[in-house]
Amino acid sequence: MTLVKKVLIANRGEIALRIIRACRLLHLKTVAVYATADKFALHVGLADEAVCIGSASPEASYLNQRNIVAAALGTHCDAVHPGYGFLSENASFAKLCEANQLKFIGPSAKVIALMGEKAQARATMVAAGVPVAPGSDGDFTAVAVGQTWADRIGYPVMLKASAGGGGKGMRVITNAADFPEAFNLAQGEAQNAFGDGHMYLEKYLTHPRHIEVQILADQAGHTIAVGDRDCTIQHHHQKVLEEAPAVIVDEPTRAKMHRVAVQAAASIHYEGAGTVEFLYDGPNQFYFMEMNTRIQVEHPVTELTSHTDLVAAQLKIAQGKPLTLTTPQAPANFALECRITANTAGTITALHLPDGHGIRTDTALYQGYQVPPYYDAMIAKIIAYGPDRPTVIRQMQSAIDETVIAGISTNLDFLMQLLQESKFLDNTTDINWVDHLVEPAP
Catalytic residues: 294
Q: Measured from the CB atom, is 284 or 344 closer to ligand ADP?
A: 284
Out of 166, 195, 328, 440, the only residue in the binding site for ligand ADP (CB under 6 A) is: 166
User: Looking at 82, 106, 208, 386, which residue binds ligand ADP (CB under 6 A)?
Assistant: 208
Contacting residue, 204, 280, 334, 375, with ligand ADP by CB under 6 A: 204
299-306 and 310-318 helices cross at what angle (nearest 10)? 90
Q: Which is nearer to ligand ADP, 30 or 162 (CB)?
A: 162
Q: Is 146 in the site for ligand ADP (CB under 6 A)?
A: no
Task: Report the Cα–Cα distance between both ends of the chain, in Å, rounded.
Answer: 61
Nearer to ligand ADP, 158 or 384 (CB): 158
Q: Which is nearer to ligand ADP, 211 or 332 (CB)?
A: 211
For residue 425, count other CB atoms closer than 10 A to its CB.
13
Q: Is 436 in the site for ligand ADP (CB under 6 A)?
A: no
**203 pairs with which residues across the strands?**
157
Q: How far is the CB of 228 from ligand ADP (least distance, A)?
A: 16
Q: Angle at Cα 395 formed by Cα 389 and Cα 399, nearest 5°?
A: 140
Amino acid in position 79: A
Spatial CB neighbours of 269, under 8 Å, sequence gap ≥ 6: 108, 111, 221
Q: Is 431 in the site for ligand ADP (CB under 6 A)?
A: yes
Residues 210-249 that bind ligand ADP (CB under 6 A): 210, 237
Show the binding pattern over residues 119-138: x = contacts ligand ADP (CB under 6 A), - = does not. Answer: --------------x-----
* Category of 344 on φ-ψ map: left (φ > 0), alpha (ψ -120 to 50) or beta: beta
Site for ligand ADP in 102-121 (CB under 6 A): none
Identified binder of ligand ADP from the candidate list 60, 205, 312, 330, rule CB under 6 A: 205
In the DSSP assignment, the letter for residue 361 is E
Nearer to ligand ADP among residue 18 and residue 339 (C-beta): 339
| 156: preceding bond cis by omega (within 30 degrees) | yes
With binding defined as CB under 6 A, does residue 167 bind ligand ADP? yes
For ligand ADP (CB under 6 A), the number of binding residues is 19
- Residues 323, 272, 108, 24, Cα dihedral to 10°: -100
With binding defined as CB under 6 A, does residue 85 bind ligand ADP?
Answer: no
Q: Which range touches ligand ADP (CB under 6 A), out of 201-209, 242-250, 357-365, 417-425?
A: 201-209
For residues 112 and 365, give the distance between their C-alpha atoms in angstroms, rounded to a whole number. 31
CB-count exposure of residue 48 (10 Å: 0-12, 13-18, 19+): middle
Closest distance of CB 391 from ligand ADP, Å: 29
**List 279, 311, 318, 412, residue binding ligand ADP (CB under 6 A):** 279
C-beta of residue 128 within 8 angstroms of C-beta of residue 264: yes
Tell me which stretch binds ligand ADP (CB under 6 A): 42-50, 122-130, 203-211, 391-399. 203-211
Helices marked H in 134-178 — which ranges? 143-153
Q: Which residues lie below 8 Å from residue 173, measured CB to CB, with a gap of 6+?
A: 150, 155, 156, 157, 158, 159, 179, 182, 183, 204
* Interatomic CA distance for residues 418 and 434, integer angstroms: 8
CB 25 within 8 A of CB 312: yes
Q: Which stretch binds ligand ADP (CB under 6 A): 1-9, 21-29, 162-170, 375-383?
A: 162-170
Q: Report whether 333 contacts 359 (CB < 8 A).
A: no
Q: Of the two residues 167 and 322, which places its CB atom closer to ligand ADP in the complex?
A: 167
Residue 202 dihedral angles phi and psi, to the nearest 5°: -135, 150
Shortest Å, Cβ 169 to ligand ADP: 8
DSSP three-state, residue 404? strand
Among 7, 186, 273, 289, binds ligand ADP (CB under 6 A): 289
Which residue's CB is nearer to ligand ADP, number 34 or number 204?
Answer: 204
CB of 203 to ligand ADP, least distance (A): 6
Q: Residues in the site for ligand ADP, rule: CB under 6 A?
A: 133, 158, 160, 164-167, 170, 202-205, 208, 210, 237, 279, 289-290, 431
